[in-house]
């Protein structure tokens, strides 16, 4: 039973002091609690397909050549970019730094152990006395999340005195001297509690710095997620640009082959007197122009390959390497049933810009309450319990401590009232103004997001209409070209009209291809505007 009081005291101290967890991100989130998954994972956006598809699904113009080395799907490129993109690697340090700051904020409530000793020797020549003091002390200080402080102090001192003393003998009148040596031990064990009652009191006030660090960590995660989405958007844009360049090259190659075949056909017709010499020259000139167009398409393909490799930054796919990347994912050209209500609601829930504003507002609200508490005067309740012991031997002193024969209790209160308190008042007014500014910024961001989502919806619907229109234009242009070819083969049509019909057909094919790729980017943009990914599984940001 002799140590029951000490055990209860230490239990109470641990309950309110060093128990603050540095890994729990939500324990002190009084104002805004957001899950870790929300800021670390990018969700898939489901775009429902319309039941009535006005046009068939459009695939690539020419089949993908299976002979290239690095065949990459869109999902491959997303993963490679998130793993190797230099911008993502730089941004990955922000959450790590913020996490360390959060741990530092939690460390405020760590207990401290203080120990030491001192030795002193004093001479008193008037009395021929020498005193030696050896002091030991050990102290445990424990900050509490209520704002108070607990401390347990156990000092021990050993004092030795030796010297020559004298006095006058009242009978003989002579000066009598004698030597003396004494040793005694002294200890005064103290347990102290100091608790503020107004300013600085309460768990909400004292965990303010932890909340700020937690919100800052989640904000850095949200910004990292937003940056990851921007990187993915850039990857998908570069991917579909590469796909477009591949298909354009194939169309240009097909165009060249048609021009070459037309040249051979015109040469044979000239030999049969079914064509004129000028037609052969025109066919030869056309073949030369188509060859130049094919070379231009090939140069553009190399440029778009390097652009994709730059974003991926993957080993073996360096920008200056001779490696070839090929986009093999097919574009999706289906009509979506877009309901602006659910999409706007999804955007309000998942856009990281709004989440970041929510975290800023939560941080500012916590700061506002903290500054409001600073307006109060400082009133502190102090209590000290101690028990003393003194003896000529160490064991005797310890026994006396164990019995706690000499007990002291002390209770007091102290009040500090700042006159004017202008600094605290100015800080509080500043927090109020900052809160109002953040609310207005958040409202403005909501309006901007709504406009972006609605614009993205309209652009995607218009993109589908463009695809349907161009699909019909390609079919009409193809029938016109085939009719002109039959007329030319029969000798009733000149080469100029045939060339015009073929260029119209090939131009329609290229324009349909451009609208098809644009439609992919419009899908990406819509999903980005609502805060998700298109046609993708969930991606986690570590």
pLDDT of 327 strictly over 80: yes
pLDDT bin (cut points 50, 70, 90) of residue 165 is low
Of 13-17, 244-248, 260-264, 342-346, where does mean pLDDT reach its minimum?
13-17
Reported as a single tens digit per residue, the pLDDT across 474-517 is 888 888 888 888 887 776 666 677 778 878 888 888 888 889 99
pLDDT above 90 coverage of the chain, percent: 24
For position 192, what pLDDT does the model report? 92
- Which pTM was predicted? 0.72
pLDDT at 531 over 80: yes
Among 4-13, 356-365, 396-405, 476-485, the range scoring the smallest mean pLDDT is 4-13
Helix, coil or strand: residue 151: strand
Residue 9 clears pLDDT 50, i.e. is over it: no
pLDDT tier, 536 (very low <50, low <70, confident <90, very high otherwise): very low
pLDDT-derived band at 164 (thresholds 50, 70, 90) equals low
DSSP 67-119: T-SEEE-HHHHHHHHHHH-HHHHHHTHHHHHHHHHHHHHHGGG--EEEEEEEE
Q: Which of 201-215, 250-264, 390-404 has the highest mean pLDDT?
A: 201-215
State the average pLDDT over residues 216-227.
Answer: 86
As a whole number, mean pLDDT of residues 252-272 equals: 81
Question: What number is the average pLDDT over the span 452-474?
Answer: 90
Which is more confidently placed, 21 or 408?
A: 408
Mean pLDDT along residues 54-75 = 53
pLDDT at position 307 is 92
Helices H, strands E: what count in the chain? 13, 12
Q: Is the pLDDT of residue 427 over 90?
A: yes
Instruction: Give pLDDT tens digits for 24-58.
Output: 555 556 666 666 555 556 565 666 666 665 544 43
- Using alpha carbons, list the distances in angstroms from residue 390 to 138, 187, 399, 400, 404: 18, 6, 10, 7, 11
Instruction: Return mean pLDDT, the chain.
Output: 80
Whether residue 416 is predicted with pLDDT greater than 50 in this model: the reply is yes
Q: What is the pLDDT of residue 62?
A: 34
What's the CA gap between 532 and 542, in Å, rounded?
A: 17
**Is pLDDT of 234 > 60?**
yes
Residues 354-394 pLDDT 10s? 999 999 999 999 999 999 999 999 999 999 998 888 777 77
The least confident of 117-121, 394-398, 408-412 is 394-398
First to last CA, the chain: 52
Q: Alpha helix locations (H) across 107-207?
A: 203-206
Q: Is the pLDDT of residue 232 over 90?
A: no
For 16, 200, 210, 410, 416, the CA distances from 145, given in Å and listed in that order, are 6, 10, 11, 23, 21
Q: How many CA atoms lie within 13 A of 413 on its CB side?
A: 7
pLDDT band at residue 68 using 50, 70 and 90 as cut-offs:
very low
Q: Please tell me the predicted confidence (pLDDT) of residue 329.
A: 87
How high is the pLDDT of residue 537? 31
Secondary structure (3-state) at 128: coil
Compute the average pLDDT of residues 309-313. Answer: 88
Average pLDDT over residues 267-279: 78
Sign of CA dihedral 4, 5, 6, 9: positive
Q: Could you give the 3-state DSSP secondary structure of residue 422?
A: helix
């Amino acid at each position: 039973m002799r140590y029951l009081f000490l055990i209860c005291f230490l239990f109470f101290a641990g309950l309110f002091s060093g128990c603050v967890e540095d890994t729990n991100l939500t324990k002190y989130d009084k104002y805004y609690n957001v899950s870790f998954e929300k800021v670390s994972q990018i969700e898939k956006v489901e775009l429902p397909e319309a039941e009535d598809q006005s046009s068939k699904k459009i695939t690539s113009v020419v089949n993908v050549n299976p002979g290239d080395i690095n065949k990459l799907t869109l999902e491959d490129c997303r993963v490679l970019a998130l793993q190797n993109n230099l911008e993502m690697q730089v941004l990955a340090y922000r959450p790590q730094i913020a996490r360390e700051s959060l741990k530092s904020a939690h460390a405020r409530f760590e207990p401290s152990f203080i120990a030491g000793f001192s030795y002193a020797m004093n001479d008193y020549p008037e009395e021929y006395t020498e005193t030696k003091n050896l002091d030991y002390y050990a102290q445990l200080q424990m900050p509490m999340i209520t704002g108070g402080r607990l401390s347990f102090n156990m000092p021990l001192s050993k004092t030795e005195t030796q010297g020559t003393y004298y006095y006058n003998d009242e009978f003989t009148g002579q000066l009598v001297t004698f030597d003396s040596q004494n040793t005694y031990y002294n200890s005064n064990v103290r347990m102290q509690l100091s608790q503020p009652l107004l300013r600085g009191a309460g768990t909400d006030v004292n965990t303010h710095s932890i909340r700020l660090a937690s919100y800052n960590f989640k904000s850095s995660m949200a910004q990292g997620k937003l940056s990851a989405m921007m990187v993915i958007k850039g990857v998908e844009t570069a991917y579909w640009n590469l796909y477009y360049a591949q298909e354009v090259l194939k169309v240009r190659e097909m165009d060249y082959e048609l021009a070459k075949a037309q040249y051979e056909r015109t040469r044979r017709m000239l030999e049969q007197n079914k064509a004129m010499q000028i037609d052969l020259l025109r066919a030869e000139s056309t073949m030369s122009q188509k060859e130049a167009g094919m070379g231009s398409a090939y140069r553009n393909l190399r440029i778009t390959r390097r652009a994709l490799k730059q974003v991926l930054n993957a080993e073996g796919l360096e920008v200056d390497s001779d490696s070839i990347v090929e986009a093999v994912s097919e574009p999706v050209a289906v009509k979506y049933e877009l309901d602006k209500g659910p999409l706007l609601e999804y955007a309000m829930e998942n856009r990281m810009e709004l989440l970041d504003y929510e975290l800023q507002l939560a941080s500012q609200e916590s700061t506002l309450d903290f500054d409001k508490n600073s307006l109060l005067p400082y009133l502190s309740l102090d209590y000290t319990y101690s028990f003393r012991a003194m003896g000529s031997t160490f064991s005797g002193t310890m026994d006396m401590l164990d019995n706690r024969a000499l007990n002291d209790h002390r209770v007091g209160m102290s009040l500090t009232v700042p006159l004017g308190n202008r600094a605290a008042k100015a800080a509080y007014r500043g927090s109020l103004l900052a809160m109002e500014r953040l609310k207005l910024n958040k409202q403005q961001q909501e309006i901007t997001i709504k406009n972006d989502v609605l614009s993205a919806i309209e652009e995607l619907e218009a993109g589908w209409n463009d695809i349907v229109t161009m699909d019909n234009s390609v079919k009409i242009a193809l029938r016109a070209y085939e009719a002109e070819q039959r007329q030319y083969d029969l000798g009733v049509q000149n080469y100029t009209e045939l060339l015009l019909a073929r260029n119209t057909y090939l131009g329609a094919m290229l324009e349909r291809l451009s609208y098809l790729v644009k439609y992919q980017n419009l899908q990406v943009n819509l999903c980005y505007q609502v805060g998700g990914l298109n046609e993708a599984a969930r991606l986690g940001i570590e």
